[in-house]
């Protein structure tokens, strides 16, 4: 599906839900199109002495409920059309979680894995310089997204503070803890998804113990969702990244060791021995198999967790999807026609704007701590996150039952009602 269709799909969903939320046309028009789009060009001297120019964007969708808020992604596939969709989704997500932010999104068209650390730092700092005039703690507060890390957020903060002439930690969230980042921000998106899933299972009267799980994508979000699900008693049987994956029906062992191996190698391939599946520590052969490409999506598991890029489940592969529940940790991992197909089979879909909202929620906690000079413990952050996720999930589930709409539409209605009041 094209990026333009993606934007239309979200806009259509909002238009449909806005009628049920009682939104007037003017309020709707205020955020359905972005307030502002900023495009910058970023020339960098590469390590070999050549100059390369990259393109960066920041889309500011709406600030009706507070400063624009949303991540910066570094990816070769970044496009303005996609960022507009994601910025609009952020407006809805912040409203759904009832946090005082609007929506924004940005990024650079680059494959950061092809850059040295030095080049990456230069590029990030150049981006901060270019965006300086349009961001700020009460204007627009960026954060991590695909391929962007606490270190990248810290470089961005350093450059912004240098120009401003004062340390301004609240200009960006998801920073390293030593630079004013919040305890628990790194794990927040994954853990938030687990809280949402547990709440829905409770409402459905289902016991999570022993439920099998496959996690597609093993970046920051995939990693934390997999390990927290395992801690909650789910059986994680499969993991994958962009190069392929691994399926161990009796359940993944040594999740921490796998995460560490992926960290060191940059890929999951080989973390379970190359070309075959064996125990990472003892090298003992396991009863499992390697998975090519996106084969993970076809496994017969109770819970499928797409945690990579958008558009993972489409008309093309939905016929092979065998799961009973989809926990959408990625933004937009499923097309509308794929969703309809799964709904016919009574698959429970926990929509992205709810499932992955833990990230922006703890970003809000981080921003709040920075604005008030506070420092909360991890325990405090997680308790507050749990409260926010359970409340939003409860609202979505109840409205889904009451209005007989799917949980995605219910989430949009809950959010739009809040936007109506702003």
Residues contributing to the site for ligand GLU (CB under 6 A): 69-71, 143, 145, 173-174, 331, 356, 359-360, 363
Helix (H) or strand (E) holding 419: helix 407-421
Cβ neighbour number for residue 284 with a 10 Å cutoff: 8
State yes or no: is 19 an active-site residue.
no
Could you tell me the smallest distance in angstroms from the CB atom of residue 319 to ligand GLU? 29
66 versus 71: smaller Cβ distance to ligand GLU? 71
Minimal distance in Å, beta carbon 69 to ligand GLU? 5
Nearer to ligand GLU, 143 or 338 (CB): 143
Task: Specify the DSSP class assigned to residue 104.
Answer: E
Q: Is the Cβ of residue 18 or residue 331 nearer to ligand GLU in the bound state?
A: 331
Q: Which residue is nearest to ligand GLU (CB)?
A: 71
The nearest distance, CB 382 to ligand GLU, in angstroms, is: 16
Provide, rounded to whole angstroms, the least separation between the CB of residue 223 and ligand GLU: 15
Shortest CB 196 distance to ligand GLU, Å:
13
Question: What is the smallest separation between the CB atom of 104 and ligand GLU, expressed in angstroms?
Answer: 8
Give the Cα separation of 393 and 31 in Å (integer): 24
- Give CA angle at 308 (305, 314), nearest 5°: 75
Instruction: Using the minimum distance from each CB to ligand GLU, give the nearer residue, 20 or 386.
Output: 386
Beta-carbon neighbour count of residue 10 at 10 Å?
21
Number of H-type helices and E-type strands within the chain: 13, 12
CA distance 218 to 230: 15
What is the distance between the alpha carbons of residues 153 and 271, in angstroms, rounded to a whole number? 29
Q: Are 230 and 208 in contact (CB under 8 A)?
A: no
Give the count of beta carbons closer than 10 Å to the beta carbon of residue 33: 13
Identify which of residues 59 and 237 has a Cβ nearer to ligand GLU in the complex: 59
For residue 316, with 0-12 CB atoms within 10 Å meaning exposed, 13-18 middle and 19 or more buried, which class applies? Answer: exposed
Cβ 407 to ligand GLU, closest distance in Å?
A: 18
Residues 19 and 103: their CA atoms lie apart, in Å, by 21
Helix-strand-coil split of the chain, %, nearest 5: 50, 20, 35
- Cβ(172)–Cβ(157) under 8 Å? yes
**Residue among 69 and 235 whose Cβ is closer to ligand GLU:** 69
Nearer Cβ to ligand GLU, position 70 or 351? 70
Query: Which one of the listed residues 69, 105, 262, 295 is annotated catalytic?
Result: 105
Q: Residues 81, 3: contact at Cβ < 8 Å?
A: yes
Q: Which residues are catalytic?
A: 105
């Amino acid at each position: 599906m094209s990026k333009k269709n993606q934007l239309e799909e979200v806009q259509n969903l909002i238009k449909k839900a806005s009628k049920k939320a009682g939104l007037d046309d003017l309020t709707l028009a205020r955020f359905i199109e972005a307030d502002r789009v900023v495009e910058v060009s970023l020339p960098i001297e590469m390590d070999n002495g050549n100059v390369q120019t990259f393109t960066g964007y920041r889309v500011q969708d709406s600030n009706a409920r507070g400063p624009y808020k949303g991540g910066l992604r570094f990816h070769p596939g970044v496009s303005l059309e996609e960022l507009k969709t994601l910025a609009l989704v952020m407006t809805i997500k912040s409203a759904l979680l009832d946090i005082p932010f609007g929506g924004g999104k940005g990024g650079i068209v680059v494959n950061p894995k092809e850059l040295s650390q030095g080049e990456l730092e230069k590029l990030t700092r150049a981006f901060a310089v270019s965006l300086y005039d349009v961001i700020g703690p009460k204007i627009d507060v960026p954060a991590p997204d695909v391929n962007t890390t606490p270190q990248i957020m810290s470089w961005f903060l350093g450059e912004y503070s240098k120009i401003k002439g004062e340390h301004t930690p609240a200009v960006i969230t998801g920073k390293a803890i030593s630079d004013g980042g919040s305890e628990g921000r790194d794990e927040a998106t994954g853990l938030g998804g687990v809280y949402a899933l547990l709440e829905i299972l409770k409402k459905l009267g289902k016991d999570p113990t022993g439920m099998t799980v496959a996690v597609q994508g093993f970046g920051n979000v995939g990693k934390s969702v997999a390990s927290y699900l395992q801690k909650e008693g789910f059986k994680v049987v499969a993991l994958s990244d962009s190069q392929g994956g691994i399926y161990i029906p009796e359940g993944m062992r040594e999740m921490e060791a796998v995460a560490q191996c992926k960290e060191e190698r940059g890929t999951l391939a080989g973390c379970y021995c190359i070309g075959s599946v064996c125990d990472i520590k003892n090298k003992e052969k396991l009863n499992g198999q390697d998975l090519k490409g996106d084969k993970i999506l076809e496994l017969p598991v109770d819970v499928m967790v797409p945690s990579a890029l958008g558009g993972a489940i489409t008309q093309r592969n939905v016929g092979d999807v065998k799961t009973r529940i989809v926990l959408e940790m990625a933004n937009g991992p499923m097309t509308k026609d794929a969703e309809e197909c799964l709904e016919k089979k009574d698959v429970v879909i926990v929509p992205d704007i709810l499932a992955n909202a833990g990230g922006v929620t703890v970003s809000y906690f981080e921003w709040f701590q920075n604005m008030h000079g506070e420092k909360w413990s991890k325990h405090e952050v997680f308790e507050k996150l749990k409260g926010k996720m359970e409340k939003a999930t409860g609202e979505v589930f109840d409205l889904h039952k009451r209005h007989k709409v799917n949980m995605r539409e219910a989430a949009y209605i809950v959010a739009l009602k809040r936007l109506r009041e702003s």
